[in-house]
Amino acid sequence: MAQLLNEPAVHEGLQTRGIPIPAATVFVAALHNTTTDEIEGFDLDLLPQAARANWQRLQDVFAQAGDHVRRARGHSLQMDPRAPQGELLDQLRRRANDGAQTRPEWGLAGNAAFVMAPRQRSRAIDLGGRSFLHDYDAN
């Protein structure tokens, strides 16, 4: 999908439908591993050099965000959220690959809701970390 969305003809078609894509925009396929809160990009070698450099700069942001989330849910997984960053990540990786774990995503198992709406609809609401948020606008 990312490759398709990067095609100039697709940009032109979307523009004719009132959906402008800024010329500097590059779509990247990625996976959010919800058991470890890591982000993995795909087909990065196909990206233009400037987009690859931007992706590389985002790695520190992804690492900080992932560490923050791991620490927030570490206690509920019987892990020490004060453990060094690499140690906590290694523990979660082992848990994610442990066949004896019936719920490697235990931190997500307590979700009570799935919110699919523009982010501003839930921004001011404290959902207690129990909702999966999907920023979505049908327009």
Q: Give me the long-range contacts of 104-107 (CB less than 8 A, separation at least 24).
A: 104/35, 105/34, 105/35, 106/76, 106/77, 107/73, 107/76, 107/77
Indicate whether this model's pTM tops 0.95.
Answer: no
Angle of CA points 102, 106, 108, to nearest 5°: 130
pLDDT tens, position by position, 124-137:
888 887 787 777 77
pLDDT tens, position by position, 4-63:
999 999 999 999 999 999 989 999 999 998 889 999 999 999 999 999 999 999 999 999
Residue 98: DSSP 8-state: -
CA–CA separation, 82 and 25 (whole Å) = 38
